[in-house]
Each structure stands twice: as structure tokens, then as C-alpha cells.
A = this chain, B = another copy of it.
Amino acid sequence: MIKIVKIGGNVLDDEAALKRFCRDFAALEGPKVLVHGGGALASRLQEKMGQKPLKIQGRRVTDADTLQVVTMVYAGWCNKQLVSLLQAEGCNAIGLSGCDGNVIKAAKRKPLEIEGKPVDFGFVGDVRPVSVNRPLLEALLAQGLVPVLSPINHDGAGKLLNTNADTVAACVAAALEAELWTCFEKDGVLADVNDPASVIPFITEADFLRLKASGIIADGMLPKLENAFRALRQGAQKAVILNAASLSKGIGTVMTL
């Protein structure tokens, strides 16, 4: 079974964690794909360049200048740094953004109504499992290559679009009928947010809706879980949320429908 592993900014922003992650990822057996986010570097670079990072409800508004920065940071620095570190660990990684071989197409997000006003997020794209080029990914995997996907995708008409890396990972897992491994900085979904040892080993979608209603699962965990359950409904065979530092053990919270 193919594993789709997603890592976020907390790993990319920490050199020691990144090296450790690359060693563990390289050692994972079987066909695999890595999907990465961006991390804090994009915001730091925007500030250095005199741009003002703007987020509305946690989502980055991406004008033309911001698109250039996130493309440079995600598709350039983060992607190539990851690939070169993986190559050094003997993992034959190949870094791709959505335009490369048309591996993922995105649709520009239409303005959303927020608090009664239309908000245009700019060069932001949405992806779906059907936008994933499964034959290309399978051909690369069959050659022993390990795709490393940045969240910069394209519309097929010459425009790059900034997309959400969690959604990209979920869509790729669904399209390839694969396992979705979402890494973050905790050991799994916690029954008590103040007790790092209170990891819930298994959650069904019914459990999730109950825990969400009671407020036990809240804030930043909600989109991660919603994303995982959507991937399962759309074709992913397994979904697990785990600590990036526990990748080699593969233990976290397993979600099932």
C-alpha cells in the first residue's frame, strides 16, 4: 500500500527535526509520497521584503507578490532542501509542484462571503482527488522514485496557485487509494488537550462527531480530522495522525469511517 506522508512547518522550520524526519522517512518501507507545507519562512521573507502577510480566518490571502514569495519558498527552498536531504539518506526523491508533468491541477477559489463581505483570496486554488494525475505518480513510483509534492499547483492555463498542503495530501491519498499519514507535533488526537499521554488510538467518524460536539476536539485539530475523514470517504484506505518524530514507529491516532 502506498503511504502519503504530510509534514508541516514545524518540521521544516527546525533543522534537527528536519534531518531526523528525512532519515525516518527514507527508512519507511514500500512506495511513498511526501507532501509538505511551507512553514514560517514565507511570512518572514514577506516581512523582509516589506510585504504584509495577510490571513483571514487562518487562510493566507495571496496577491501576485505573495504568490511569488510562496512559490519561491515552498516550490524552491523547502522542496529542494527536502529532496537533497532525502537523496543524502538514499531515498530517490523527486520534487514536484502541480505544474510538473501536470501532476496536480487546481481551480482558483472564487471570492467567499465572510461576515457579509466578499473576500477574494487571490491566487489560491482548491484541489480535488480527480485533479491528481494518478498515472504519472504511479509511473514515477514504478521507477523507484519518491515524489515530494509542494503545495504550489497550477490551473493548466499558465497560472500558479497556492493550495492547502493538508488538502493536497488527502486528495493524493484518495486518488491513489493509499494510506494518509498526517504528521504534526503531538502524538495523536488527545482526549485531554493538557495531557500529551491521552492519545486516542482509534476514532470512527461517529466518535469524531461526538467529540467535536462536546468540544473535546476543537480548533486546529478540526480541519486535520475533517480532512482525514474526507480522504477516507473519497478512497483513501487508512488515515493516521501522528507525531513527525514517531514516523518510524507509525503509532498515533487511526481514523476509520
Contact = CB atoms under 8 A, between A and B. Distances in A.
Interface in A44-70: 45, 48-50, 68
Contact of A87 (B45, B74, B136, B156): B156
B71 A99 contact: no
Given A48-B49, A49-B49, A81-B160, A102 B73 contact: no
Contact of A158 (B45, B72, B88): B88
Interface in A172-211: none
A240 interface: no
Contacts of A94: 96, 100-101
A97 interface: yes
Interface in A14-59: 45, 48-50
A77 B83 contact: no
Interface in A114-167: 136, 139, 143, 145, 152, 154, 156-160
A252 interface: no
A76 B87 contact: no
Number of copies: 2
A89 B121 CA distance: 26
Interface in A73-118: 73-77, 79-81, 83-85, 87-88, 92-97, 99-102
Contacts of A83: 97, 99-100, 154
Interface in A211-244: none
A158 B84 CA distance: 5
A154 B71 CA distance: 20
Contacts of A88: 156-158
Interface centre among A83, A96, A145, A157 (most CB of B within 10 A): A83
Nearest to A102: B87
Contacts of A72: 72-73, 76-77
Contacts of A48: 48-50
A150 to B, nearest CB: 9
Contacts of A73: 72, 76
Interface of A: 45, 48-50, 68, 71-77, 79-81, 83-85, 87-88, 92-97, 99-102, 136, 139, 143, 145, 152, 154, 156-160
Given A75-B76, A80-B99, A84-B154, 20 more contacts: A45-B49, A71-B80, A71-B81, A75-B79, A76-B77, A76-B79, A80-B160, A81-B160, A83-B97, A83-B154, A84-B99, A84-B158, A87-B99, A87-B156, A92-B101, A93-B100, A93-B101, A94-B101, A95-B100, A101-B145
